[in-house]
Amino acid sequence: MKLIMRADDLGFSEAVNLGIYKAVKEGVITSVGMMTNMEHANHGYELVKDFDIALGQHTNICAGRPLTDPKLIPSLVQENGEFCSSREIRSRKEDTVVIEEAEMEIEAQYLRFKEITGKDPDYFECHAVISQNFFIALRNVAKKYGLFYENVLFDQEFEKENNIYGIAMAKLNEQMLYDPKEYIENSLEFIRNHDVSVMVFHPGYLDQYILTHSSFTLIRAMECDFLCSSWLKDWLKEYQIELTDFRKVKNA
């Protein structure tokens, strides 16, 4: 009965980086995904690099600017050269992500990850966009470089093949918030019924960039506080749930 506590969005902003740092240092986060195309990716890495965590690539095609020349990836960008927003992508009736274009940007973000960290990511997954073409492109790049492609929640074949299962994210209310204690307690049966489970969080603090570029605002600070809480640590001990990370389970 093992549990991976995954934090997404390292690099999104300085405030998000600081919240993730706290959730790693004082909380229960075991795996962190970095958005290497974002301006504050290096800052985020410097904050967490010395902790014993799995560090993954949180591949991003819907926030900020691409690392690839926008002219080469027209299906992914707006006229100003920035990525199309996740909200705009989700509103499309068809999957318009061009696989070859996505592969170019995914590979560029992977190479930036290696430039920043000096190593391969411990796992390789995606940010916000639910697109089968995007998933195919991720798998292709992962296979090319021998990386551990992880897609809990959206790929049942991955879950069965790797015996790693994602716990559905909490349903949010009108304020884009939820009760984290209730969410955790309702997940207990799922955790008990699977050898390895994954819970995904977005801890962080808030700055102007996040307030204007993300639908996740107050939820980040709330999750950061909860992930560091004595209540959660005691709950994990009470039910003898072992925390783990992707490094330890991907070859199990």
If residue 103 lies in a helix (H) or strand (E), which one and from where to where?
helix 99-117
Mean pLDDT of the region 111-128? 96
User: What is the distance between the alpha carbons of residues 59 and 124, in angstroms, rounded to a whole number?
Assistant: 7
Measuring CA to CA, which residue among 94, 104, 103, 174 is closest to residue 131?
Answer: 94
CA distances from residue 238 to 30, 46, 201, 230, 233 in whole angstroms, order as listed: 19, 34, 21, 12, 9
- Any bridge partners for residue 5, and if so which? 199
Measuring CA to CA, which residue among 219, 220, 222 is closest to residue 13?
Answer: 220
User: What is the distance between the alpha carbons of residues 188 and 49, in angstroms, rounded to a whole number?
Assistant: 31
Q: Residue 48 above 90 pLDDT?
A: yes
* CATH class of segment(s) 2-249: alpha beta
198 versus 87: the higher-pLDDT residue is 198
What confidence score (pLDDT) does residue 252 get?
Answer: 66
What confidence score (pLDDT) does residue 93 get?
Answer: 86
Mean pLDDT computed over every residue of the chain: 96
Q: Residue 116 above 90 pLDDT?
A: yes
Angle at 54 between CA 107 and CA 44, to 5 degrees: 70
What is the pTM (predicted TM-score) of this model?
A: 0.96
Lowest-confidence pick of 48-52, 83-87, 181-185: 83-87
Q: Residue 115 above 90 pLDDT?
A: yes
What confidence score (pLDDT) does residue 201 get?
Answer: 98
Tokens of 132: 């089968």
Mean pLDDT of the region 134-160? 94
What confidence score (pLDDT) does residue 155 get?
Answer: 87
237 versus 87: the higher-pLDDT residue is 237
What confidence score (pLDDT) does residue 54 get?
Answer: 98
Q: Residue 128 above 90 pLDDT?
A: no
**How confident is the model over 12-44, as pLDDT tens digits?**
999 999 999 999 999 999 999 999 999 999 999
User: With 0-12 CB in 10 A as exposed, 13-18 as middle and 19+ as buried, what is 154?
Assistant: middle
Instruction: Tell me the domain boundaries of the chain.
Output: 2-249
Tokens of 169: 């994210």
What confidence score (pLDDT) does residue 154 get?
Answer: 87
How many residues are recorded in the chain? 252
Mean pLDDT of the region 137-141? 96
What confidence score (pLDDT) does residue 231 get?
Answer: 98
Q: Residue 237 above 90 pLDDT?
A: yes
